[in-house]
Amino acid sequence: MKSRNNEGPAYRQAGQAVLIVLLSLSVVLIIVLYIMSRSVTDLSLSSKEEDSLRAFSAAEAGIERALILGSTGPSEIGGANFEANVSSFGQGETSVVYPVSLKSGEIAVFWFAPHQGVVGDSQFDGNQVTFCWGDSDTPVDGFAPAIELTVYYGDISNLQIARAVFDPNSARAESNGFDSVNSNCTIENEDFEFETNVNLASLGANSDLKYANVRILYNTTVAHKIGIDVTGFGLLPSQGNKVISSGSFGGANRKIEVYETYKVAPPIFENSIFSASGVVK
């Protein structure tokens, strides 16, 4: 009996050692399984990211091809699929929002004349247009955007320009001589803060309208959109091309939308004097 009592603690120590070993193995197993799980997750994410990048690259390839060749049917590049569609934007509409937000000094172009090769394009002959600009709730401070309107009109052999300027900041307008504007305007479900109605005939641009350059001013920090509305006075011709390209690879799908506007003369030619070097009086 005494011998058994002496062996009791040894057995208990052996059992505790086995338990510690089992617990250690369990911890190691959990760590190994966690690492394996993370590795599988990382591999899955890497695969999805790669599929996404290849789908995006395919969509970009569709844009590049469409800008050169026009709309494309389903195509393949490097195992990825893409399809691009080109359509005119603004054609036959009464209003258009320029597709890019602009900062001070940048220009939005709105066409009144039709373009060769655009089926169904027609001349806008109205004498009244409305311009809207500035994001909704834009404060009327020193950075509030003003606009400079330059309208090209007349026969191509004797092209003329008419100008007008508008500023929502009345204090600033007292010194720069700009005309005042109205508030609040909506074009294509997009809200604008500033609006002006322009009678083109009063500017002298009463025939053979070509296009209007709208230069935004003073908003050096925040870009704003500009829109045009001719409701009740005619329809606008095409303003350019809208290209939508979709790419797919594996389980990833990506879509890109870009706008190609028509080319115009550089704004420098709106000035009466220009020179590659300094002008000496």
Report if residue 69 sits inside a domain: no
Q: How confident is the model at residue 71 (pLDDT cuts 50, 70, 90)?
A: confident
pLDDT for residue 268 is more than 60:
yes
Is residue 156 packed enough to be buried (19+ CB in 10 Å), middle (13-18) or exposed (0-12)?
Answer: exposed
Closest C-alpha to 203, from 254, 262, 162, 145: 162
**What's the domain count of the chain?**
1
Report if residue 257 sits inside a domain: no
Report if residue 46 sits inside a domain: no
Partner residues linked to 246 by β-bridges: 83, 255
Averaged pLDDT, 169-198: 94
- The type of residue at 202 is S
Report if residue 78 sits inside a domain: no
User: Which one-letter DSSP state was computed for residue 96?
Assistant: E
Between residues 119 and 114, the one the model is more confident about: 114
Report if residue 222 sits inside a domain: yes
Report if residue 212 sits inside a domain: yes
Between residues 77 and 187, the one the model is more confident about: 187
Report if residue 3 sits inside a domain: no
* Complete edge-to-edge strand list for the sheet that includes strand 107-111: 107-111, 209-217, 146-153, 160-166
User: Residue 200's domain spans which residues?
Assistant: 90-238
Q: Which range scores top for mean pLDDT: 5-14, 36-45, 248-257?
A: 248-257
The structure's pTM equals 0.77
- Return d(Cα 207, Cα 83) in angstroms, integer: 42
Q: What is the CATH number of the domain that holds 151?
A: 2.60.120
Half-sphere exposure of 165 (CA within 13 A, CB side): 16
Report if residue 271 sits inside a domain: no
Task: List, for residues 246-260, the tens digit of each pLDDT value.
Answer: 999 888 899 999 999
Task: List, for residues 120-138, the tens digit of each pLDDT value.
Answer: 888 999 999 999 999 999 9
Q: How confident is the model at residue 270 (pLDDT cuts 50, 70, 90)?
A: low
The residues, any chain, with a CB within 8 Å of residue 184's CB and separated by 6 or more, are: 191, 192, 193, 195
- Return d(Cα 105, Cα 243) in angstroms, integer: 26
